[in-house]
């Protein structure tokens, strides 16, 4: 039987940060053991930000989180974006924010973030074992006994569960929820978030792969719930893109619970404003100008000067206009309808993509079951829970990784201090 002072289940963002924080306090080779079920550490970390790793956001605050937010406020206040950037600078990683506050490694490589964490872990004697899924855990007099798939066991004085969520199963298996439950914790309803929206009809499919800058608004029973601006990507099943991911947080809640923020609704739609910088009157005037100046031009090209050609063509069709006819035959009423669609192109939302395509998991272990400062379990002595396993999820833009770093730092530091104090008493 192998023994360690602290076992961390999960070698992702929260787990590796916890390992670094703990090892720097304990300063004892082999005291910290990381068990990772995948064949590589930080697999999901390497995939974030399209391989660039959007590791935090200068605007990280409770306003950008969902779930048990009030319970997470002290933690977020303690671990600010500047504090997190400072931790990485101490690891040798220089970071750089973009114009919208998203923070990336200066090199633009997610691999550099993983290398910094691994370098720190190795320097302080952390043992990392890959391909070592934990299938069971139970409390013992000394601490915890963890069992693996091959019958191997590890005994530890303290344990941090940082197993990740159910989203993106190729990167994270979600087994941590079962481990937490076996120790007496509860888990709220889980559902995928930061994912694509599925739309009724074939309009989006007809222009699949095309991108369009737009203001996207999520409407519940016709009332705007949330809106974001950015690139919208049309897919064979609906809508995607960073701003759509922002809307998906609320849409996913609706499809999981039938409500948003505790209020029930009958249905959802997305309205795209494809020319947000123009008013309806300006769009109408432009269309009339194009019809008058180029009467023989195909109606399908009426928007060719301001929008992606395929998007403009699809809008003309959606307005009930024959795109092949000459522009001079488009009636004024049809131009008005087209202008209205440009400003509010409606798509009925029928669902979201599942965990397979989601970036994060909504739901998890309630924060009332852990100490808000240390992530220490209120149910099991010397147990800590960090990262995506907790019932807090953030908006798109580095907020979820920020929460992973914050909880990992808190859990790793607290667990190590508890172990150190216990050793001093002996």
Q: Which helix (H) or strand (E) holds 231?
A: strand 223-234
Q: Quick one: pLDDT band at residue 171, thresholds 50, 70, 90?
A: confident
* Chain segment 341-351, per-residue pLDDT in tens: 999 999 999 99
Q: Is the pLDDT of residue 424 over 80?
A: no
% pLDDT > 70, the chain = 99
Q: Is the pLDDT of residue 110 over 70?
A: yes
Q: Is the pLDDT of residue 174 over 80?
A: no
Q: Quick one: pLDDT band at residue 393, thresholds 50, 70, 90?
A: very high
DSSP 91: T
Residues shown for the chain: 426
17 to 88, 124, 341: CA distances (angstroms): 10, 13, 48
Q: At what angle do helices 13-26 and 399-425 cross, to 10 degrees?
A: 30
Residues 6+ apart with CB under 8 A from 209: 233, 234, 235
How high is the pLDDT of residue 46? 92
Question: What strands lie across the sheet with 95-97, from one edge to the other?
Answer: 56-57, 102-105, 95-97
C-alpha angle 194/61/394, rounded to 5°? 15
Pair 398, 102: CB distance under 8 Å = yes
* Chain segment 116-170, per-residue pLDDT in tens: 999 999 999 999 999 999 999 999 999 999 999 888 999 999 999 999 999 988 7
How high is the pLDDT of residue 423? 74
Mean pLDDT value across the chain: 96
């Amino acid at each position: 039987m192998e023994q360690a002072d602290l076992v961390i289940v999960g070698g992702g963002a929260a787990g590796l940060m916890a390992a670094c924080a703990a090892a720097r306090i304990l300063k004892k080779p082999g005291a910290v053991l990381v068990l990772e079920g995948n064949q590589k550490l930080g697999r999901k970390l390497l995939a974030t930000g399209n391989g660039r790793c959007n590791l935090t956001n200068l605007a990280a605050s409770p306003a950008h989180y969902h779930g048990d937010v009030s319970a997470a406020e002290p933690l977020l206040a303690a671990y600010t974006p500047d504090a997190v950037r400072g931790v990485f600078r101490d690891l040798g990683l220089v970071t750089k924010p973009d114009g919208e506050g998203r923070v990336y490694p200066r090199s633009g490589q997610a691999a550099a973030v993983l290398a910094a964490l691994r370098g720190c872990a190795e320097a302080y004697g952390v043992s990392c074992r890959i391909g070592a899924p934990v299938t069971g855990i139970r409390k013992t007099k000394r601490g915890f006994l963890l069992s693996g798939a091959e019958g191997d066991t590890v005994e530890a004085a303290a344990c941090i569960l940082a197993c990740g969520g159910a989203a993106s199963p190729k990167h994270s298996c979600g087994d941590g929820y079962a481990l937490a439950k076996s120790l007496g914790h509860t888990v709220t309803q889980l559902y995928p978030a930061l994912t694509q929206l599925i739309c009724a009809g074939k309009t989006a499919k007809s222009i699949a792969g095309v991108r369009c800058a737009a203001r996207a608004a999520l409407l519940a029973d016709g009332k705007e719930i949330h809106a974001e601006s950015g690139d919208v990507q049309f897919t064979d099943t609906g809508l995607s893109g960073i701003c759509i991911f922002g809307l998906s947080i609320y849409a996913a809640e609706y499809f999981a619970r039938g409500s948003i923020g505790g209020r029930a609704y009958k249905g959802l739609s997305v309205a795209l404003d494809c020319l947000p910088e123009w008013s309806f009157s300006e769009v109408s005037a432009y269309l009339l100008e194009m019809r008058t100046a180029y009467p023989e031009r195909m109606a399908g090209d009426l928007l060719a000067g301001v929008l992606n050609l395929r998007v403009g063509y699809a809008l003309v069709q959606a307005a009930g206009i024959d795109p092949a006819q000459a522009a001079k035959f488009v009636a004024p009423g049809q131009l008005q309808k087209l202008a209205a669609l440009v400003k509010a192109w409606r798509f009925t939302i029928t669902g979201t993509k599942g965990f397979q395509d989601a970036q994060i998991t909504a739901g998890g272990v309630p924060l009332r079951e852990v100490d808000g400062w240390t992530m220490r379990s209120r149910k099991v002595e010397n147990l800590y829970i960090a990262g995506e396993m907790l019932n807090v999820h953030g908006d798109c833009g580095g907020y979820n990784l920020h929460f992973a770093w914050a909880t990992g730092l808190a859990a790793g530091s607290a667990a190590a201090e508890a172990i150190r104090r216990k050793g001093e008493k002996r």
